[in-house]
Amino acid sequence: MKINLLNFTLPKLEKFFEEIGEKKFRAKQVFRWLHVYGAENFSDMTDIAKTLRAKLEDIATIDVPHLVSEQISSDGTRKWALEVGNGNKIETVFIPEDGRGTLCISSQVGCALECQFCSTARQGFNRNLDAGEIVGQLWWANKRLGKDPKGEKLITNVVMMGMGEPLANYENVIDAMRIMLDDNAYNLSKRKLTLSTSGVVTRLDWLGDDCPVALAVSLHASNDEVRDRIIPLNKKYPLNELIAACKRYLAKSPKNYVTFEYVMLKDVNDHVEHAHELIKLARGLECKFNLIPFNPFPNSGFESSSWSQILRFQKILQNGGYITTVRKTRGDDIDAACGQLVGKVHDKTKRQEKWKNYIPVKEV
């Protein structure tokens, strides 16, 4: 089987080249062709000796996800369904804004976690994406979008917020992010590369040592009772452990704050007392809150909090001393908004059967 060179960080590619009897500097040349210039095949690499190109053709490949469909929202958001083998499909989203363009990247085919308000979770889980499939989404999107009139790439920020829990696919995600950060590849700043996690505490500590980037935490509850029900992972890593891990992470983070994502679910986590609990929970931790109106999907069992309740919740957090924003919903008309990505997952967990008799939790 041929080796996909998109899976290699530069140090790993250099090692691979030495193993096949080539000079290390050739690896850097090939690496730049792959990621800076977006080479689709080895014949494009015109400053590489023909003999080396022929060798690479025999043993290696440049294998990226394949486009299945593209949808463009009325607000300019783009969603791509990409095929990753055996009938599995993932989704990747590009969000254009004034002065920046953000690409939301998936890390797994489906998701092994069971967050109850997330459409991706309803699809179950098939497998982890490899590093080439993760970084290949950025490779592909750059090719698809082209450049602006000044010759600059349109993608300025990347968020690991698509399908899957990034820290559950740790090694592949780390390699992919290292490629994104490499100045011989995409040259992203650590401040412009964000990893979002539901709170895999032990691996959050690893991330701080191995590849600290901007951190967003899917919090979504102010106490363990509610979080246990809507994010089952909380039973393994309760809030006190998660908050402590966030404090440790800040010592190594490129930013001086953690962003807490909080989806607003009517009569579940949106009461006034929940806002006051969040203020106490986050005490002593530099953080910002990003309130997310729930994006509905079929048979979700949840409703979004009213706009007036979201603004009331925001005001309480702001009065408590925390910068609190309300996320502008983007791409909801093409199911590209937060929590709506589904792709196509050949589910190994049989989770879809479990949702047939689902009764949503409610606060009383």
Residues forming the active site: 91, 338
Rounded Cα–Cα distance for residues 117 and 302 (Å): 7
Closest CA relative to residue 260, chosen from 305, 301, 224, 214 = 214
Rounded Cα–Cα distance for residues 165 and 181 (Å): 20
Secondary-structure breakdown of the chain: helix, strand, coil percentages, each rounded to the nearest 5: 40, 20, 40
Q: Six-digit token pair at 293?
A: 């109106």
Alpha carbons within 13 angstroms on the beta-carbon side of residue 238 total 7
Closest CA relative to residue 5, chosen from 55, 51, 49 = 55
Question: SS3 for 196?
Answer: strand
Q: What is the C-alpha radius of gyration for the chain, rounded to an integer number of angstroms?
A: 21
In one-letter notation, the amino acid at residue 254 is P
Contact 52, 33 (CB under 8 A): no
Closest CA relative to residue 360, chosen from 285, 248, 267, 290 = 267
Closest CA relative to residue 125, chosen from 347, 353, 342, 339 = 347
DSSP state string for 146-178 = -B-TTS-BS--EEEE-SSS-GGGGHHHHHHHHH
